[in-house]
Amino acid sequence: MDKHQQQLFLAKSTRQRCNEWIFRDVPSDITIEVNGVSFALHKFPLVSRSGRIQKLVAEHRDSDMLRVELVNVPGGAESFELAAKFCYGINFEITSFNVAQLYCVSDYLEMTEEFSKDNLGSRTEEYLEIVVCKNLEMCVEVLQQCESLLPLADELKIISRCIDAIASKACAEQIASSFSRLEYSSSGRLHMNRQTKCEGDWWIEDLSVIRIDLYQRLITAMKCRGVRPESIGASLVNFAQKELTKKCSLWNPSGLTKVDLGSTDHERLVVETIIGLLPVEKLAVPISFLFGLLRSAVMLDCSISCRLDLERRIGSQLDIATLDDILIPSFRHSGDGTLFDVDTVQRILVNFSQQDDSEGDMDDESVFESDSPRSPSQTALFKVAILVDNYLAEIAPDANLKLPKFLGIAETLPEHARTIHDGLYRAIDIYLKAHPSLPDEDRKRLCKLIDFQKLSQEAGAHAAQNERLPIQSIVQVLYFEQLRLRNALCCSYPDDDHKPAVHHQSWRISSGALSAAMSPRDNYASLRRENRELKLELTRMRMRLNDLEKEHVCMKRDMVKSRSRRFMRSFSKKIGKLSLFGHSSSRGSSSPSRQSYRTDSKVIERTCASTD
């Protein structure tokens, strides 16, 4: 049934109803037309109640049969019919579904106390004040009816009164619910039982039927009244789920191209409004909901300020996010053609890092040399580091992912964020495998991110045989793996003569394990002392730089000729000749451990110098 047919059906039904209650024995002397519907009525009952009709009749005093048309009647023909019934003294029930229409039409027809006592205006005012404003559900129903009565319903304060009533009622119910959860503990203290389910938020589902502009005003009023942020957040989630259920149809899944820009206007308004209404408190809404809003904001091309606000909110609680949350598809067509929106994730990481720095912005002495336990921000940093490594591994197979974007994600977090580098090594190895034509210089840039002494035994064994790594990285892996083995063997001897040398040369091997158990605050003092000792070793390393560079050229030439396992065996023999594993054939040394330490120091000097 089209719109024209609906109007004809409404006009026909209205005429039938009008014939049922109008005076049949008295001929009508006035015909009033409202939205194409004609009402054959009588002047006297209308003039006695309506000031507007009284003026119209006075203007045409000489006409026996008056015909007038009322334009822009609030509520249309149905509202006017109820007002006409009231003028004729016919009883009907005022309800929450028609009180707003009656209130507006009484104002339009000027049905006030000036023309008749207990007129329609005072009756609807009384019902609105005594009945509707005392009941939250009725207020919501009235707000729904007001959507078709704007702007008159707003000018008559119907909307503002209902909104204030809903906000006050919701706040009062939450207070009452909070009192019901109070109980005395075993020690006699009064506290709130958080395990008891709060029954004061039953109205959340009801608010989801209100139009977005009225909903925005309502949530703002509830915030001012002091409604709990968790309740506000739950209402926002419920409203968004109802309004954005068809968002997937806005896109072509095959090409991720927009289907109809005009159909997204309402969804864009909903997303931007909800983002502006989000509570400032953390955890007021689930972080998965924030990511869902962010995907919708990117998909619907919302304002930049909305997206930046979401990214800031997400960055402040990124430690509770999951991998599925941060895998944001790249909806917009860009020159790189990546599968995932890496730029957005990088901005979120920057927000997280800046928030972490601002919380820990104190003097180094007071922060790192204190004996206090690990701060929550440091724990969050460790969680985010694991999340980032998993994210890098997911986006690494993308052939269109450029190296600067990959490096940008990997380098956002500080060095002390990763206690173990297995995840980072896995992601870099996947990237190298997916980009076989990557230049050697870029491979070196990637591998500089890895601290090979923080690899586990399994990851180290894999890296030692990984032909995708640069030769310098393989040298470091073999060296640290050998030192780890020597440390384990030497520590198994009960002789105290071996312990000083072992402890001195193995501090870098165990630093990864120490970092896992201790935060940078606990390690800083010892690292600063060890740094002074390293300065002396660094001077000797630089003296051996030229020798190691010559040997590196020869090794690289052999690597180009053959990448088989035979090369690795010959490579191990060369390393053995360089005393990389610390074997000494000298006799007469009073301390074998000290002699092997001197040999290993020469090699690490060359190795570290070649990787600078």
pLDDT band at 551 (very low <50, low <70, confident <90, very high): low
- Report residue 101 as tokens: 């229409």
pLDDT value, residue 335: 53
Contact (Cβ atoms closer than 8 angstroms) between residue 267 and residue 306: no
Chain CA centroid to CA 441, Å: 37
List, for residues 125-169, the tens digit of each pLDDT value.
Answer: 999 999 999 999 999 999 999 999 999 999 999 999 999 999 998
pLDDT at 581: 33
pLDDT, tens only, 77-99? 999 999 999 998 888 899 999 99
Cα–Cα distance between 547 and 580 in angstroms, integer? 14
- For 1-134, CATH gives 3.30.710.10
Do residues 227 and 171 touch, judged by C-beta distance below 8 A?
yes
Query: What is the per-residue pLDDT for 603?
Result: 39
Measured CA to CA, the distance from residue 515 to residue 237 in angstroms comes to 40
For the stretch 231-253, pLDDT in tens is 999 999 999 998 887 544 443 44
Structure tokens of 395?
A: 């986006």
**Across 519-547, average pLDDT:** 56
Assign 601 a pLDDT band (cuts: 50, 70, 90): very low
Model pTM above 0.85: no
Q: Band the pLDDT of 28: cuts 50, 70, 90.
A: confident
| Buried-state track 215-241, b at ≥16 Cβ within 10 A, e below 16 | bbbbbebbeebebbbebbbbbbbebbe
Distance (Å, whole) CA 87 – CA 48: 8
Q: Where residue 354 falls among pLDDT bands split at 50, 70, 90?
A: confident
pLDDT of 467 strictly over 70: yes
Beta bridge partners of 38: 33
Backbone phi, then psi, for 556, in 5-degree steps? -65, -35
**Looking up tokens 């996010």, which residue turns up?**
321
Model confidence at 454, pLDDT cuts 50, 70, 90, reads confident
Q: Please tell me the distance from the alpha carbon of residue 195 to that of residue 181, in angstroms, as a whole number.
A: 9
Of the pLDDT bands very low, low, confident and very high (cuts 50, 70, 90), residue 412 is: very high
β-strands 66-70, 251-252 pairing: unpaired
Is the Cβ–Cβ distance between 73 and 105 less than 8 Å?
A: yes
How far apart CA 467 and CA 82 sit, in angstroms, is 87
Q: What is the mean pLDDT of residues 523-534?
A: 58
- pLDDT for residue 10: 52
Given pLDDT bands bounded at 50, 70 and 90, which one contains residue 210?
A: very high
Q: How far apart are CA 292 and CA 180, in angstroms?
A: 35
- Residue 27 banded pLDDT, cuts 50, 70, 90: confident
pLDDT at 411 over 80: yes
**Single-letter code of the amino acid located at 211:** R
